[in-house]
Structure 1
């Protein structure tokens, strides 16, 4: 287990957010430049990341484990959605704008940038394979249920949202995976390059969005600490207690627990901005949970390692 690698991964994400904040503060990035990032991320970077991350060799030996991981994923996200209906009431959300953001925060965690490095530090590269299977429902829900939550007040939900580039990317990526179709290197490499821009650009956007937020007031907001505790500790412990008596393989048990215990997804602020949600609240929550995860993730790793 490499706790140093885990800490560096989280700290890197946090520093990139600070760079975005300082760049906007010094007007190196204009308000227009920051506000244009969500459309680029949602329509170009994120779909390419989804397709390229699903370029995994398919073998018959892994089929049973794949079914198990996928079933666990469905159960975890179902539980998360149920809990997300309660959280806004507990946190006294003001209106649909805040309600949708708190629901989104409850369901979606930062998988790729923090979750995968944590899995790699505890297990082996095989954990990344199962992690990629586990987040298939994540990608589908993020751009359907997630968008619906954010758009519930300012934009009327439209069935066309289901045909957004990210859902199409999930479909394409899964078909390529299922039929073992490999994208040629001369196409895959630029796809991966642009797709990997998703996380740093998301954090730059989050940092830039925080420029207009009163930082002192943000750290005084009890609800941000509460949603971070739900996201980082309560949900993964629920998953651990629920599955530990049924799943004997430490790897298959660890994947859903680790992914569930990651900080709020960077996509939260991106989707909120693009679909009329409370972008400042989304950015603040992502920033706060990422900061607190420097303490909670090593704790979670220790708990998993001692099972």
Structure 2
């Protein structure tokens, strides 16, 4: 089996299979919500931090890479602007539904699904690009999604009272374990700058950890999949699919093309900007008592479209030289 065929196998083994395993484990009561939370935290704090060190250790620093943090904000700001300013009030008059809908539109699954898909197509450099974009997506989650969750919950209870952000635990927003991978990025960059050679064995470890991280991340996603709310909210939230997976990557590509002609960088931008709704939206909806079923519907829809349709199609078009991103 050559490298191309092996990477196609990864699409099933590392993307589809763990989702199925997580869903089945929940159905047969072999996995608990607490165990899923442990998997998520271990993946973010330990595995992602090690991967950040290893990937940035060997990634050449180029000026054009400075645009990547911008896309961490842009892929959130564009969908937020579309849904908030064009049809949020008309579409969902209930504040809890409004909150779930707008928060689900904001974050994308850049680090977990996007990072794995970028690695499958482009190797370590693609994964490093995902890390650079994903770090700033985490900031959006902390400074936009959490405050908005609090806002919509507050408005659902206190319709006429003045709103105050002082009740948020800002210390936990600024300082938390989810930021450890940022330190890993910085350490990797320092090792690269001072020209410390990365041992060859760590390249093998990197590849093993990518696959392990995919399973640790996607099993909880499979566990959280609940089809009960899909029927009610499927059509009313389906517009998030083209907004996040067609409009956002298309505009992102046009912007990126102004700064670089690197086909791998441009292809990575497309892969990352088209990623589906993130599990963090469901976590935020649950944390602030919003409508979790509404968030679940576009989450299932976009994850299914990305894993089963969009990324496989993009992969085949690129590897067969039909699209110039290789």
The residue aligned with 1:261 is 274
Report Cα offsets for 1:22-50 as digits up to 9, x if no partner: 10110111333223333222222222222
Which deviates the most, 180-189 or 96-105? 180-189
- Any conservation in 1 of the 2:54–2:202 contact (CA below 8 Å)? no
List gaps (5 residues or longer) in structure 2. 151-167
3-state DSSP of counterpart to 1:181: coil
**1:116 matched to which residue of 2?**
119
Question: Which runs of no fewer than 5 residues in structure 1 stay unpaired?
Answer: none
The CA distance in 1 between the partners of 2:281 and 2:231, in whole Å, is 19
Q: Tell me if the contact between 1:50 and 1:169 (Cα under 8 Å) persists in the aligned partners.
A: yes
1:204 equivalent in alignment to 2:198: no
Deviation at 1:200, TM superposition (A): 0.9
TM-score, with length taken from structure 1: 0.73
What is the match of residue 162 of structure 2? none
| In the alignment, structure 1 residue 67 sits paired with structure 2 residue 63 | yes
Partner deviation per Cα, 1:131-181 (whole Å, 9 max, x = no partner): 345335324213322233343245533322498312222222222233233
- In structure 2, relative to structure 1, the CA distance for the partners of 1:225 and 1:161 (3 Å cut) is same
How many residue pairs get aligned? The number is: 288
2:74 paired residue among 75, 79, 88: 79
Q: Verify: 1:217 aligned to 2:212, yes or no.
A: no
Q: Could you tell me how far apart the structure 2 residues matched to 1:291 and 1:276 are?
A: 26
Tell me the secondary structure at the aligned position of residue 180 of structure 1: coil
CA RMSD of aligned residues (A): 3.9
SS at match of 1:29: coil
Counterpart of 2:104 (choices 94, 101, 106) is 101
Contact 2:229 2:294 in 1 (8 A): no
Query: Which among 32, 35, 45 is matched to residue 33 of structure 1?
Result: 35
Aligned residue in 1 for 2:154: none
* Alpha-carbon separation, structure 2, partners of 1:150 and 1:270: 11
CA deviations 1:32-75 (Å, max 9, x no partner) are: 322333322222222222222223164xxxx5xx212x133244
Matched, 1:172 2:216: no
Change (3 A) 1:177 1:231: farther
Rounded Cα–Cα distance in structure 1 between residues aligned with 2:56 and 2:302: 27
